[in-house]
């Protein structure tokens, strides 16, 4: 069976690098959404908990319920309001005033402030209204946050958005004091902004996903970061056949043998979240060329090895298929087995 190898040492290395920048283990929220970017939700939750991390973020309530016993708080980033009261360790991100009104009393919430990305979140001039709803409905405001749209790009937009967030924060703090509400946690940095700014400065913690898994797309001019990829992807042999020069392999017969030799087929394909390479160009994986097209459940290579590594670093595939490392790793099927080494 195809499997993903998780390097515990590399994960620990990245977490330590990031906690140092954030200013401590209680100032880093690990982002475990989308099956921990393909690495396995429960595995990465247990590892990060073992390294002393207290906060995690996921996409859905279903994900949160699987791991909240390991953390002080699990923040749900992108699910719909729940009409049932959840455990107090589970918090929801709130993306609009309308959404805020749907939560039952005592729900733990983090209100998202739109500081310029215009994807989700309430506007600065809606903060007062938000506090009124929070008080009227007896909601538990645990945090206020924003998300940056261009932290990894070579532009000053990060500073513009940060200024907007700081202004919203000041306004919120004023109202919190006025209404004698408990002070929520403020947070804004993702991986790119934490790496780029080297701290999460005025915030209470940073929310990091991609860098914990060993990648960054921060523009080179902001520095080189010693991150180590956590995942490597492997496939196992299904069968081998000896073929003659001129024989062609796979759909469309896209690969033609240049001399007699063995061709083996391995148990991963685009149905497992790997790329459907069309065979028109060379796809070189850890030094080996894929023979022709990738099928839904398999792909072929010259030779007869029992297992082969498809990647140890997702950058090459991201570049080859004109995408980003996030896309390569998070699309891998959750059903691929995981081995922690």
Angle, alpha carbons 177-181-184 (nearest 5°): 95
Q: Which residues bind ligand PLP (CB under 6 A)?
A: 31, 33, 77, 147, 190-192, 207-211
Tell the smallest beta-carbon distance from residue 109 to ligand PLP (Å): 14
Tell the smallest beta-carbon distance from residue 291 to ligand PLP (Å): 34
Q: How many residues does the chain have?
A: 341
The single residue listed with the structure tokens 């016993």 is 69
Annotated active-site residue in 25, 33, 59, 185: 33
Q: Which is nearer to ligand PLP, 15 or 31 (CB)?
A: 31
CA proximity to 165, closest of 133, 142, 143: 143
Compute, in degrees rounded to 10, the torsion defined by CA atoms 65, 69, 74, 80.
Answer: 20
- Assess whether 33 carries a catalytic annotation: yes
CA proximity to 245, closest of 255, 233, 235, 237: 255
Compute, in degrees rounded to 10, the torsion defined by CA atoms 115, 119, 124, 130.
Answer: -140
How many other β-carbons are positioned within 10 Å of the β-carbon of residue 6? 21
Tell the smallest beta-carbon distance from residue 209 to ligand PLP (Å): 3
If residue 67 lies in a helix (H) or strand (E), which one and from where to where? helix 61-67
Q: Which is nearer to ligand PLP, 210 or 235 (CB)?
A: 210
Q: Which is nearer to ligand PLP, 79 or 305 (CB)?
A: 79
Annotated active-site residue in 101, 106, 245, 251: 251
Tell the smallest beta-carbon distance from residue 77 to ligand PLP (Å): 5
- Assess whether 270 carries a catalytic annotation: no
Q: Which residues contact 340 (CB under 8 A, 6 or more apart)?
A: 5, 6, 8, 43, 47
Tell the smallest beta-carbon distance from residue 147 to ligand PLP (Å): 4
By beta carbon distance, the residue nearest ligand PLP is 209
Q: How far apart are CA 128 and CA 173, in angstroms?
A: 11
Active site positions, annotated: 33, 251
């Amino acid at each position: 069976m195809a499997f993903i190898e998780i390097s515990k040492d590399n994960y620990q290395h990245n977490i330590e690098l990031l906690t140092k920048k954030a200013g401590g283990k209680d100032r880093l929220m690990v982002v475990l959404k989308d099956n921990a970017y393909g690495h396995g939700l429960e595995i990465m939750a247990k590892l990060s908990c073992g390294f002393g991390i207290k906060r995690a973020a996921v996409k859905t309530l279903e994900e949160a319920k699987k791991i909240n016993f390991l953390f002080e708080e699990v923040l749900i980033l992108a699910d719909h309001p729940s009409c049932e009261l959840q455990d107090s360790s589970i918090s929801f991100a709130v993306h609009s005033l309308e959404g805020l009104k749907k939560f039952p009393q005592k729900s733990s919430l983090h209100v998202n402030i739109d500081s310029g990305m215009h994807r989700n979140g309430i506007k600065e001039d809606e903060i007062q209204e938000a506090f009124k709803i929070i008080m009227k409905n007896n909601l538990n405001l645990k945090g206020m946050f924003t998300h940056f749209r261009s932290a990894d790009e070579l532009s000053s937009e990060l500073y513009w958005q940060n200024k907007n967030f700081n202004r919203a924060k000041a306004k919120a703090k004023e109202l919190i004091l006025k209404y004698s509400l408990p002070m929520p946690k403020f947070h804004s940095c993702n991986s790119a902004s934490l790496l780029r700014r080297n701290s999460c400065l005025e915030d209470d913690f940073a929310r990091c996903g991609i860098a914990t898994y060993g990648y960054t797309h921060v523009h080179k001019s902001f520095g080189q970061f010693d991150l180590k990829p956590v995942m490597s992807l492997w496939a196992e042999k299904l069968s081998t056949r000896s073929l003659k020069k001129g024989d062609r392999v796979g759909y469309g017969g896209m690969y033609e043998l240049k001399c007699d030799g063995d061709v083996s087929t391995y148990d991963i394909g685009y149905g497992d979240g790997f790329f459907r390479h069309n065979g028109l160009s060379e796809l070189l994986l850890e030094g080996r060329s894929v023979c022709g097209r990738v099928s839904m459940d398999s792909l072929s290579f010259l030779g007869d090895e029992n297992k082969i590594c498809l990647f140890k670093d997702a950058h090459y595939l991201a570049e080859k298929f004109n995408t980003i490392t996030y896309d390569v790793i998070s699309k891998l099927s959750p059903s691929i087995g995981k081995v922690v080494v």
